[in-house]
Structure 1
Amino acid sequence: MNENAGRHLQFDDFLLLVGKLNYTWTNTESLLIHFIAGLSEVDKETATVIFLTLNTTRARIDLVERLAKLDRVPSDQRTAILDITGRILGQAKLRNRYNHCIYAFDADGDNPRTILMRIADRKDTLKMGQSHPLNDAAAEDIEAAIKALALINHAIWKIIQQFDFPR
């Protein structure tokens, strides 16, 4: 048996966990379509076109938040929706860490880590290549995010039903 097989299996398990995070994220983000439909007073098909036209999570959440802040939106509806969008954004940093990175290893194929593919402009310098190890703590963070997103997903469905948004 190849001595690296156990290490590769652990990395594969980690990638499966990242895949589950992506699935949970995408499934939950797609529920914003119902918020767009309800707040814009359009059918779900039109809201889907709007959702797909906006090609980033940030743009989709900005739209939902701006629609929720319109004067005509009841305050209880606004509060519920802004709470949910804040909770989604609270999970975005971790999700982005594992979706906008490269995975790196040492020369022996050990010590897996992520390297963030982002440049941070500072006053007079650049910061890039922020690295995070793929260890038990990282896996626990992802598992916690998956659980949090599942709770957010259920809360969104309650709001959709409470305010009778298009389904």
Structure 2
Amino acid sequence: MFVSKLPPKPDFDLLAAAAPASADRRTFVLALIGNLICSWSNNESLFIYVLMILLRTDEASAAVVFATLNTTRARLDLIQRLAKIKVTDKALARSLAALVERFSDSTKVRNELNHCMFIFDSKGAITHTQSMRLMETRSSLKFGEIKPLDESRLQEMLQTTREMTKINREIWDLLPRLEAHVCGGEQPGVPRDAA
């Protein structure tokens, strides 16, 4: 006899009736996720200016390079490699490397929340996430890990968002220092004799 492996279909009428009671918490959780993703996206976009400086080009050209590399990891790898050949000031190189590393750490949390299924209880509250990643063992493949969306996890999300705010400010502070070091006062993309 065939037994379905599908999870049971939610009782959507029951969920709709119960949802108003959990609306405040759900709104809070969704706001946390939205803030985290917005902060992450703003930080990733700032790396266009890092690329602009390292490539000694204009904003549009740097954006083309940025968009052509279709993963965050590829973009950060390019920045790290360019920095190795363009940034000779060791303190500045360490600052840039530390920012890239901290951003990469925040990317893990963002990816986890951006690529998961949210699990709701019978009252409409978001209680867990299920990763969309496959977990491979020696003998099988398993669908992703289920993690509670408890107070500890919410605090982790808040802390990650705070960290991304710090990273954002530090990238803005680093940009003029990086530009002065790499371009020596020249405008990126403008030949010395044309400035």
TM-score of the superposition, structure 2-length normalised? 0.77
Q: Structure 1 residue 111: deviation in Å?
A: 5.8
Write the distance in 2 (CA, Å) between the matches of 1:154 and 1:127: 40
Write the distance in 1 (CA, Å) between the matches of 2:165 and 2:126: 30
* Among 132, 157, 160, the residue aligned to 1:142: 157
Identity of aligned residues (%): 32
Aligned residues between the structures: 165
1:45: which partner in 2? 60
Write the distance in 2 (CA, Å) between the matches of 1:79 and 1:11: 40
Which one-letter code corresponds to 2:83 in the other structure? A
* Among 66, 73, 77, the residue aligned to 2:87: 73
Q: Structure 1 residue 99: deviation in Å?
A: 0.3
TM-score of the superposition, structure 1-length normalised? 0.89
The answer to whether the aligner puts 1:102 opposite 2:114 as a matched pair is no
* Among 170, 180, 185, the residue aligned to 1:155: 170
Q: Structure 1 residue 15: deviation in Å?
A: 0.8
Q: Is the 8 A contact 1:68 1:77 kept in 2?
A: no
Structure 2 residues not aligned, in runs of 5+ = 1-16, 181-186, 189-195
* Among 31, 36, 44, the residue aligned to 1:29: 44
Write the distance in 1 (CA, Å) between the matches of 2:40 and 2:34: 10
The answer to whether the aligner puts 1:133 opposite 2:152 as a matched pair is no
Write the distance in 1 (CA, Å) between the matches of 2:105 and 2:155: 16
* Among 88, 110, 113, the residue aligned to 2:128: 113
> Which protein shows a greater Rg?
2
**Considering only aligned residues, what root-mean-square deviation do their CA atoms show, in Å?**
2.0
The alpha-carbon distance between structure 1 residues 17 and 111, as it changes in their structure 2 partners (threshold 3 A), is closer
